[in-house]
Amino acid sequence: MGGFEAGRHVLPEPLRQQTPVTAVGIHDQHEPFQAIGPTTPPPAAPNVVIVVLDDLGFGSSSAFGGPCQMPTAERLASEGLRYNRFHVNALCSPTRQSLMTGRNCHSVGMGGTTEMATAAPGYNGFRPAGAATLAQILQGNGYSTAAFGKWHQTPPREISAVGPFGRWPTGEGFDAFYGFMGAEMNHWYPQLYRGTTPFEPTRRPEDGYHLSEDLVEQSIDWIRTQRSLTPNRPFFTYLAFGASHAPLHVAPRWREKYAGRFDQGWDAERERILVRQKELGVVPPDAVLSDWAQGLPHWHELSENQRRLSARFMETFAGFTEHADTQVGRLVDALTELGELDNTVFVYLLGDNGASGEGGIDGTLNEHRLGHGIADDPDEMIEQIDLIGTADSYPIGPAGWAVALNTPYQWTKQVASHFGGTRDGLIIHWPGGITGGGGVRPQFHHVIDVLPTILDCVGVPAPHLVNGVQQQPIEGTSMRYTFADETAPDRRTTQYFEMCGNRGIYHEGWMAVTRHGIPWQMIPDPERRFENDVWELYDLTSDWTQSNDLAAQHPAKLRQLQDLFLVEAAKHQVFPLDDRVTERENPTVAGRIDLLAGRRSITYHGGMRRLTEETTPNVKNRSHTITADIEVPGDANGVIIAQGGAFGGWSVYLVGGRPTYHYNYFGLERFQVRTESPLPAGRHEVRVEFTYDGEGTGLGGAVAIAVDGVTDGKGRVGSTIPYYFSFDETLNLGVDLGTPVSPEYPRLDNALTGIVHQVRIDLGEDRSGQDGQGGAYQRVMSAQ
């Protein structure tokens, strides 16, 4: 570590002793009072900017040999340092929590995404107060702080108008926040927050709106304002893009730049990437391609339609990624214009995990289908190929491309055992502290090392006490020792990895790993048990890509590392291992705390909006009723209540005065029930009664609509969504925000022409047949 100022171990800084009062009147006060100012940062402390791209993979960016052109990453790398043995956790929330706290993800309760939280200590999704964030530490040391974009660390049950807000960005050390709270967001029609207040952009795609551009514009505006008003205070800006996570949303001109570029397929692309990586020096000359992923077809095994679709998905991904990097370039240009770039520690993390294989064999136009085990037919998708990337799609690409984008490593996101899931490119740019830029740093490091590196550069210590709470030890190691010495020996010699039951342990050049699941099988095989997993052993000093399994030749070394994994896993709250993915996204199944505390009835009042899935009654897999008290003119139209959006959900609305219930089953099937008669002008009760078919998940049900106590419409819903409607859409009264559940009303401007006084939802018994510890894959599939 560099030299630190004395103190700064208690944050916020205690008030200094004040001049004593020595007189009744101010004119007799002989000793002048000193004004109390804010805590000042260390002299010449640099600004800090951290930019994170999502689901990228080591071999995606042109700065690391990949096919996605990223001129900003290349520019920053040419003037800074590239780290080619930098590791993350294999999912979004765990990486982000480690980045912000400097601790391993399980140590701070984030062993999965926030939507996968359980009641187990390493997986509960609640950051302990004893693990202060980087923002809290810098804020406590006099920095201005702001976060923009994806925030995926707040427990879903706390994302509501009543909070609590202590685990929102503005409660975790950021003065300002503009972005979205969750795994992903529609880039054309986002539902955002400014601070803790819901916010919808007024501009639309037809006006040229795109979320990535918006986030950078907001970041630049905040930095400019901060420099104008408090130029003596350094700033910390955290910018986390939704790109390149699904949905792959980008304007056609960006995708068209790559037209035909990927027609030769992923096998050929892996070979090309490896050649470029060797030319750049980000892998050694003797590196070889790792084994192809089990169960994935090679390019020549695909049909013509599969190849056409796959190429289009990859063109869209590449355009989406280049577009995001171009926006980062605007931020860099703004820092240059302000004269701040040279005095800014700029950390550019090219992925929070490996590229995602969750798109399955063929990809999909609606990501949520695959999350529930439903694969699209490529011969049907080909008819909608031009929708990919548009507002009428919610796409994710095929797993074959994910493996290629993680070249030269094995596997993908979720797979913490292999570098395809955990090794991402990192660029650090700091002209004020790094001389002779353009180098590659090969030291083994992990995302928990970013926080201590920043503190080292800023010149402040890790605090002992924050907000009166004793701090648990920082588990990361500063990387600053590598800035001036590419040959410096590694200071991180041991690191465990675990995600979704996939696990590994690195120690002094050796690595033992075991892959438990397959990412594109979102619901695990209930017959596969952890004790039956097969371990592999790699000597990374001679095997850069985990390609030569030495488990049979060195059983003693393997046993040593397996024992070390048990020690590290126990130390960091990894047990009990949990391989559920989609299943945990249903709070009832996961067993996490329910905001509604088991309530069977809740009444919403008119004007309530932006209610996330875990802050609303869970209508899935059970009978329920929706009773609305509304007041309308004659021939009224518009939405009474809606949950979800164009890619899955349900809605109650009026068409020509006629109450209508619409159930959108992943956009694959739509079920609609409507009354025979329109509502006359006046106040009415509209009641929708849904009677679930039986025991199990995703079953259908009977629907009856009654107006003022008289049934006037009946019908059926053939299939229902068993686990989650959406990660980005919400429940709203009097309007359907985001994308529309039903195509019968407009995407926007669909508010009810009348008044919604209140809506009550009453729940029947949960009929999923699941006990809170996870249901079986067979039950899910039999329901489809």
Does one domain contain both 264 and 379? yes
Residue of 634, 629, 680, 626 lying closest to 651 (CA atoms):
626
Summarised one tens digit per residue, pLDDT across range 416-448 is: 999 999 999 999 999 999 988 899 999 999 999
Does one domain contain both 597 and 720? yes
pLDDT of residue 583: 82
Does one domain contain both 465 and 612? no
Does one domain contain both 480 and 629? no
Residues 6+ apart with CB under 8 A from 382: 305, 308, 309
* pLDDT over 70 (residue 772): no
Confidence of residue 4 (pLDDT cuts 50, 70, 90): low
Does one domain contain both 615 and 481? no
Mean pLDDT taken over the chain? 94
Instruction: Evaluate whether residue 277 is within a structural domain.
Output: yes
Instruction: Evaluate whether residue 502 is within a structural domain.
Output: no
Number of residues that this document lists for the chain: 784
Q: Alpha carbon of 26 to those of 17, 30, 34, 36, 37: distances in Å?
A: 19, 9, 14, 18, 21
Tell me the angle at which helices 304-337 and 71-79 cross, rounded to the nearest 10 degrees. 50
pLDDT of residue 781: 26
Relative to beta strand 731-733, strand 465-466 is unpaired
Residues 6+ apart with CB under 8 A from 139: 145, 173, 174, 175, 236
pLDDT of residue 571: 98
**Which of 494, 510, 538 marks a domain boundary?**
494
* pLDDT over 60 (residue 736): yes
Per residue, the 3-state secondary structure of 685-753, as one string, reads EEEEEEEECCCCCCCCEEEEEEECCEEEEEEEECCCCCCCCCCCCCEEECCCCCCCCCCCCCCCCCECC
* pLDDT over 90 (residue 130): yes
**Which of 469, 494, 519 marks a domain boundary?**
494
CATH of the domain at 679: 2.60.120.200
Element (H, E) at 212: helix 211-229
Q: Based on the structure, what is the number of domains in the chain?
A: 2
SS3 at position 181: strand
Instruction: Evaluate whether residue 417 is within a structural domain.
Output: yes
Tell me the angle at which helices 211-229 and 304-337 cross, rounded to the nearest 10 degrees. 10
Cis peptide before 190 (omega within 30 of 0): no
* pLDDT over 90 (residue 321): yes
Instruction: Evaluate whether residue 341 is within a structural domain.
Output: yes
pLDDT of residue 773: 36
The rounded distance, in Å, linking the Cα atoms of 292 and 401 is 12
**Which of 494, 517, 549 marks a domain boundary?**
494
CATH of the domain at 216: 3.40.720.10
Does one domain contain both 115 and 235? yes
Summarised one tens digit per residue, pLDDT across range 240-268 is: 999 999 999 999 999 999 999 999 999 99
Average pLDDT of the segment spanning 114-143 = 97
SS3 at position 259: coil
Instruction: Evaluate whether residue 133 is within a structural domain.
Output: yes
Does one domain contain both 625 and 482? no
Summarised one tens digit per residue, pLDDT across range 272-306 is: 999 999 999 999 999 999 999 988 999 999 999 99
Residue of 405, 545, 425 lying closest to 88 (CA atoms):
425
Give the Cβ contact number of residue 182 at 10 Å: 24
* pLDDT over 90 (residue 775): no
Summarised one tens digit per residue, pLDDT across range 51-70 is: 999 999 999 999 999 999 99
The rounded distance, in Å, linking the Cα atoms of 234 and 299 is 51
Average pLDDT of the segment spanning 462-485 = 97
Relative to beta strand 648-655, strand 658-665 is antiparallel
The rounded distance, in Å, linking the Cα atoms of 634 and 127 is 52
* pLDDT over 70 (residue 776): no
* pLDDT over 90 (residue 177): yes
Summarised one tens digit per residue, pLDDT across range 356-400 is: 999 999 999 999 999 888 999 999 999 999 999 999 999 999 999
Instruction: Evaluate whether residue 540 is within a structural domain.
Output: no
The rounded distance, in Å, linking the Cα atoms of 86 and 422 is 8
Does one domain contain both 86 and 235? yes
Q: How far is CA 228 from the centre of its chain?
A: 32
Give the structural domain span for 729: 592-782
* pLDDT over 50 (residue 771): no
The rounded distance, in Å, linking the Cα atoms of 587 and 114 is 11
* pLDDT over 80 (residue 783): no
Instruction: Evaluate whether residue 268 is within a structural domain.
Output: yes
Instruction: Evaluate whether residue 248 is within a structural domain.
Output: yes
Does one domain contain both 633 and 771? yes
SS3 at position 61: strand
- Its pTM stands at 0.95
pLDDT of residue 528: 86
pLDDT of residue 15: 80
740 in Cβ contact with 668 (< 8 Å): no
Summarised one tens digit per residue, pLDDT across range 695-718 is: 999 999 999 999 999 999 999 999
* pLDDT over 50 (residue 777): no
* pLDDT over 70 (residue 347): yes
User: How much of the chain, in percent, has pLDDT values that exceed 70?
Assistant: 97
* pLDDT over 60 (residue 774): no
pLDDT of residue 196: 98
